[in-house]
Structure 1
């Protein structure tokens, strides 16, 4: 089975937090934990690559040239970024997934559902949407009926994206959440009690990657970036 790979260890706070998280993940998945010198040159695939990150202003998460940014950009496997202020609590009751219901990432959906299944917790699927172009410039605002119609459509899109995965993981409870926010605002609002936040990495998903960057500046949970 594919191992869990720890990309950063050592005695620093991010290193210790990442090492602890990786050890728990490997035990949960029933696989070995490996600590190669260069995860990107490691032969084969990994269940997940784990990397510690600092939230200090002097060393912002995913800064250019950092190990975490390199892994997120180049890895073919899910990369979990573990902040130094990681908080573990029984009150963290779900896996939060940022999903673009128009172009859903099967890789991110599969990883999020599997992560929720392994932990025996709920999946909180968050879809961010915006009003149609030009709606904000209407002289009398957006009629409530139009907004409700648009939102119903977004809810249907999210339901359609989740349907095959709910059938594949029938034991995972799912909360569908459609937010009239940017991806960043949506994740910041929805991740306070998350044990893990999952976002896709794809050419059309840059907004979710920016959301992950913003989340890591204040997050107390791990954030997974999953390449499609």
Structure 2
């Protein structure tokens, strides 16, 4: 039996995993539960772990795996009972970056994955993309990854890339993440895009058009904004989702 605070924290972590694909920080937990210090959060986390509701993963910051939910939880009916070893958003965290849900995806080499409660599509991981200085353009398939179908729009092809670098960390994109990209050659100001620079270097950045030039902006103050003539930058896709393995 959980106390009210323990249950509130478990449900808060569950909701954040479902929405963002990553657990909340201890500061966010403290604010959500209206506690004065993080020491109270540490005690609640320890209690949840001792009772078998969560598991903390060693050597990874903010890595919490939900093993089960109590039947009196408001989130239980949304998820269903957890079987042995079941987890939510822990082995794989998924974040949606504003794609339109619904519809089947007409994408080459995309195959629905059988089993589970949510439809998934196998997307090709086309290689690595720099979230730092540009690297050589991606041009070959390295492996496949399962992506929730609701993350993908019905009017376009999609592919995935493995992120290398930390220039987009303030947008929640870390080194080693898999980003899901919808193929397009257009983008609005502020979109996170795959940009091909000078037909030979690809990078993941926010795009802005200013004074007849293209600015590719990082989400990390350690990296400067790079400005190119418009004819030197080609948009090859827009970010619609992210998958993180723990």
| Same fold (TM > 0.5) | no
Q: Which has the higher contact order (CA 8 A, sep 6+)?
A: 1
Name the structure where helix makes up a greater proportion of residues. 1
- Please tell me the TM-score bracket, short chain as reference: under 0.3
What is the TM-score of this pair, normalised by structure 2? 0.23
